[in-house]
């Protein structure tokens, strides 16, 4: 391209640009045009919105007409599907699958029970006369957990009252009758709860009305209870929680208190009890629950500080099918108080309280409890009652204690003779020494075992008290001196650590005093007994036993340690008074020396022992 061509193109471009600049609108014209454009755009938008709104309104109208036309058919279809599903799941009881929920409260002077119409179950069981250690209302069950239900079969359907809603048919302050309706008004399931007006019982009756297709023998009552922590010391409380039961023709028995256990009941069962420390929930049937399929269980709850154990019972009935089958039973919801349980007249129901076996239980039932209850009538402090009880028992045992101390004094009176025998026969001749000792006792008319017999006679009382105090609900939350609850341990100091061997993290003053008094009692007793050579371990045991008791009893009830402390103090006073005013050792020695001068015939036992010793000596010579 030459120079002339380039100049021509530049001129043409300049002309075009100049023309555009010349013909371009001014600023005012551009602003006016912009306003006009904006107005037109806004108008267009408004028109579009109006058109859209009109279309939407038309669409909504058409949709509404369509919905109005379709809703009746759709509702009937949904209802039909719903009814079909409910009928498939609940059968005749489909009408009871839903409904309003109401809580009905039943009350007598002892109990307050809240019955929930959803499931027709007791949500709350409260003992009005008791509180927990921390002052809260005492509940026998946990409202937030556990099952209370009747399971039954309707043809091939397995149903549970837990899934049904009941209506209130009749209510009174102490009773309510609930009904689960069916599609047929003549057929229904009813549950009636009736509190006894003056006792700890609630009668529960299930009724199958117009339901011959439901076999009552396949109806299972299932109750699962989480025991609540109501007392001061959870480990002690857990150790006394168990499931007790009694067959119609057998003694009462129980499941493990230390581990999980499940047991299938092997015979008709009169009653099953979920025992807490001081309270019990029990199911009672005078004619017995069926053994076929019934089972009971108990389970530990490691790490759960709010509960003790989990209890469960699955119990069957033996009612024959009929047009109106009734399944009655009683629920005991009350304290483990001996007289209260005994007055129920239920066979062996009072043995829910473990008062000891054999003679130990007899001592508690026929000696300790009558005295304790008699003293309780005077509204005294239970610390004073234990003191009076201890004095009364010690007075009853006074003749035995006197014989025991007199026997010890007779043995001491022979001390010069026994020392002479020990010098005459060295330790390497034990048989000769023993033979000489027995010959001395025979001539003097003294029996070494005479002091043991009175002690053995006192052991049933000591062990009976060991069983009585931990199980006595009368001591529950009763304060005395520094102890705030005689049914649990007393504490004068809490330790920042846990002492092993069962001692715990607290210091029980009653236990310390009891251990100290035991040492003092042992020292006094050892001084009154003749010294026996070759038995150094006896001195060790004199100190070791109180130390063992210190560890063993630190977490046990303060009432028990307090009783043993009083028993030791009274025993020390008894020994002091008897030795000073009632037992003359000089006179006893004179009697023994007089006996030694008289010829005495050897007993068969002594002759037998001498014969054994001779045979042993002959064997050694060979």
336 pLDDT tier (thresholds 50, 70, 90)? very high
Task: Please give the pLDDT value at position 88.
Answer: 74
Domain finish residue from 72, 91, 110: 91
pLDDT given at position 32: 55
Q: Which of 306, 323, 354 is the last residue of a domain?
A: 354
50 domain residue, yes or no: no
Distances (CA, A) of 570 to 387, 392, 465, 564, 566: 10, 11, 16, 10, 6
Of 354, 375, 406, which residue is a domain's last?
354
pLDDT at 51 over 90: no
- Cα–Cα distance measured from residue 321 to residue 588, given in angstroms and rounded to the nearest whole number: 82
Residue 576 pLDDT level (bands cut at 50, 70, 90)? confident
User: Is residue 526, in this structure, part of any structural domain at all?
Assistant: yes
Residue 295 lies in a domain: yes
The pLDDT value recorded for residue 358 is: 84
Interatomic CA distance for residues 126 and 131, integer angstroms = 9
Q: What 3-state class would DSSP assign to 155?
A: coil
CA distances from 532 to 301, 416, 423, 446, 527 (A): 52, 13, 13, 16, 11
Domain assignment present for 75: yes
Residue 431 tokens read as 């048989």
Per-residue pLDDT at 537? 56
Average pLDDT estimate for 458-480: 88
pLDDT in tens, 125-173: 999 999 999 999 999 988 877 789 999 998 888 999 999 999 999 999 9
Task: Choose among 619, 608, 600, 598: nearest CA to 435.
Answer: 608
Residue 226: what pLDDT? 93
CA angle 470, 475, 481 (to 5 degrees): 110
188, 181 Cβ separation under 8 angstroms: yes
Q: What is the mean pLDDT of residues 206-210?
A: 93
**Alpha carbons 542 and 519: distance in angstroms, whole number:** 7
Cα end-to-end span (Å), the chain: 155
Same domain, 154 and 243: yes
State the pLDDT at residue 407.
77
Domain extent at residue 69: 64-91
Which pLDDT does position 52 carry in this prediction?
37
Digit-coded pLDDT (tens) for 508-548: 999 999 999 988 888 887 776 655 554 555 566 667 888 88
Q: With left for phi above 0 and alpha for psi between -120 and 50, is residue 502 left, alpha or beta?
A: left
Query: Does residue 449 share a domain with residue 398?
Result: yes
Task: Tell whether 389 and 501 lie within a shared domain.
Answer: yes
How would residue 440 be classed by pLDDT, with cut points 50, 70 and 90? confident
Q: Is the pLDDT of residue 61 over 90?
A: no
Is the pLDDT at 400 greater than 60? The verdict is yes
Look up residue 579 and give its DSSP letter. I
> Who has greater pLDDT, 469 or 77?
469
Mark whether 220 and 368 lie in a shared domain.
no
- Residues 189, 209: contact at Cβ < 8 Å? yes
Is the residue at 291 inside a domain?
Answer: yes
How high is the pLDDT of residue 60?
39
Q: Are 268 and 316 in contact (CB under 8 A)?
A: no
Treating both helix axes as pointing N-terminal to C-terminal, what angle do 398-413 and 452-471 enclose, rounded to 10 degrees? Answer: 140
Does 343 share its domain with 472?
no
Eight-state DSSP code of residue 580 = I
Alpha carbon distance 360, 362 (integer Å): 5
Q: Would you say residue 12 lies in a domain?
A: no
Whether 346 and 224 map to the same domain: the answer is yes
In a domain, residue 36? The reply is no
585 and 523 in a common domain: yes
pLDDT at 27: 53
> Cα Rg for the chain, rounded, in angstroms?
45
Stretch 179-204: mean pLDDT: 93
Query: Is the pLDDT score of 308 beyond 90?
Result: yes
Q: What's residue 99's pLDDT?
A: 86
Please check the confidence at residue 419 and state whether its pLDDT lies above 90.
Answer: no
Q: What is the mean pLDDT of residues 205-231?
A: 92
Local confidence band at 454 (pLDDT 50, 70, 90 cut-offs): low
Q: Which pLDDT score, from 0 to 100, does residue 104 have?
A: 93
Rounded distance between C-alpha atoms, residue 215 and residue 152, angstroms = 8
Strands (E) located in 433-473: none
Quote the percentage of the chain above a pLDDT of 70. Answer: 79
Inside any domain, residue 26? no
One domain for residues 278 and 394 = no
pLDDT, averaged across the chain = 81
So what's the pLDDT on residue 448?
66
Q: The domain that contains 181 carries what CATH number? A: 2.70.98.90
Q: Can you state the angle between helices 430-444 and 415-424, rounded to 10 degrees?
A: 150
Closest CA to 463 of 360, 568, 571: 360
Same domain, 317 and 442: no
Q: Are residues 284 and 412 in the same domain?
A: no
pLDDT digits (tens, 9 = 90+) for 359-377: 888 889 988 899 898 998 8
Q: If pLDDT is split at 50, 70 and 90, which confidence band does 70 have? A: very low
Q: Of 227, 225, 262, 228, nearest to 245 (Cα)?
A: 262
User: For the chain, what is the domain count?
Assistant: 3
The dihedral formed by the CA atoms of 399, 401, 402 and 407, expressed in degrees to the nearest 10? 130
| Same domain? 180 vs 264 | yes
DSSP 142: -
342 lies in the same domain as 408? no
Answer whether residue 578 shows pLDDT above 90: no
| Predicted local confidence at residue 601, as pLDDT | 65
Model pLDDT, residue 161: 93
| DSSP notation for 509-522 | HHHHHHHHHHHHHH
User: Is residue 49's pLDDT more than 50?
Assistant: no
Q: Of 38-47, 253-262, 525-534, which has the strongest mean pLDDT? A: 253-262
């Amino acid at each position: 391209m030459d120079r002339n061509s380039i100049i021509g193109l530049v001129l043409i471009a300049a002309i075009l640009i100049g023309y555009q600049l010349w013909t371009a609108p001014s600023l005012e014209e551009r602003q006016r045009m912009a306003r006009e454009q904006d107005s037109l755009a806004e108008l267009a938008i408004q028109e579009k919105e109006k058109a859209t709104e009109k279309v939407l309104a038309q669409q909504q109208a058409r949709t509404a007409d369509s919905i109005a036309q379709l809703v009746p058919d759709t509702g009937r279809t949904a209802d039909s599907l719903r009814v079909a599903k409910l009928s498939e799941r609940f059968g005749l009881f489909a009408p009871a699958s839903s409904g309003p929920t109401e809580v009905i409260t039943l009350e007598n002077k002892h109990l307050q029970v809240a019955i929930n119409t959803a499931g027709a179950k007791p949500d709350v069981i409260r003992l009005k006369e008791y509180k927990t250690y921390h002052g809260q209302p005492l509940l026998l069950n946990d409202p937030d957990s556990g099952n209370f239900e009747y399971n039954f079969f309707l043809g091939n359907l397995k149903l549970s009252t837990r899934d049904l809603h009941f209506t209130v048919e009749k209510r009174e302050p102490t009773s309510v009758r609930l009904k689960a309706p069916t599609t047929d008004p003549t057929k229904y399931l009813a549950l009636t709860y009736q509190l006894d007006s003056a006792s700890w019982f609630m009668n529960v009756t299930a009724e199958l009305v117009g339901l011959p297709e439901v076999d009552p023998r396949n109806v299972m009552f299932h109750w699962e209870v989480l025991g609540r922590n109501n007392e001061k010391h959870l480990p002690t409380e857990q150790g006394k929680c168990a499931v007790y039961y009694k067959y119609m023709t057998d003694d009462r028995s129980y499941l493990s208190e230390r581990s999980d256990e499940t047991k299938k009941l092997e015979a008709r069962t009169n009653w099953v009890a979920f025992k807490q420390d001081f309270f019990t929930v029990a199911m009672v049937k005078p004619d017995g629950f069926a053994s076929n399929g019934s089972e009971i269980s108990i389970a530990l709850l490691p790490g759960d500080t709010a509960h003790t154990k989990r209890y469960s019972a699955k119990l069957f009935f033996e009612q024959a099918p009929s047009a109106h089958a009734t399944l009655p039973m009683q629920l005991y919801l009350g304290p483990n108080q001996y007289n209260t349980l005994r007055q129920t007249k239920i066979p062996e129901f009072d043995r829910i309280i473990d008062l000891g076996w054999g003679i130990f239980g007899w001592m508690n039932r026929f000696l300790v409890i009558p005295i304790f209850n008699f003293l309780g009538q005077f509204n005294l402090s239970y610390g004073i009652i234990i003191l009076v009880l201890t004095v009364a028992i010690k007075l009853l045992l006074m003749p035995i204690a006197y014989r025991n101390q007199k026997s010890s004094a007779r043995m001491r009176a022979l001390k010069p003779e026994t020392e002479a025998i020990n010098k005459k026969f060295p330790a390497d001749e034990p048989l000769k020494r023993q033979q000489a000792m027995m010959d001395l006792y025979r001539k003097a008319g003294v029996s070494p075992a005479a002091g043991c017999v009175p002690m053995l006679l006192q052991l049933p009382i000591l062990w009976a008290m060991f069983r009585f105090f931990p199980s006595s609900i009368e001591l529950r939350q009763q304060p005395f001196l520094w102890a705030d609850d005689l049914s649990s341990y007393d504490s004068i100091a809490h330790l920042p650590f846990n002492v092993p061997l069962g001692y715990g993290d607290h210091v029980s003053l009653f236990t310390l005093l009891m251990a100290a008094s035991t040492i003092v009692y042992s020292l006094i007793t050892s001084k009154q007994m003749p010294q026996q050579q070759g038995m150094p371990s006896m001195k060790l045991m004199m100190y070791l036993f109180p130390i063992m008791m210190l560890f063993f009893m630190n977490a046990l009830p303060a009432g028990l340690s307090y009783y043993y402390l009083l028993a030791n103090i009274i025993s020390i006073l008894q020994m002091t008074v008897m030795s000073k005013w009632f037992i003359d050792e000089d006179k006893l020695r004179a009697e023994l020396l007089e006996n030694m001068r008289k010829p005495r015939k050897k007993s068969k036992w002594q002759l037998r022992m001498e014969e054994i010793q001779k045979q042993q000596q002959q064997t050694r010579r060979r």
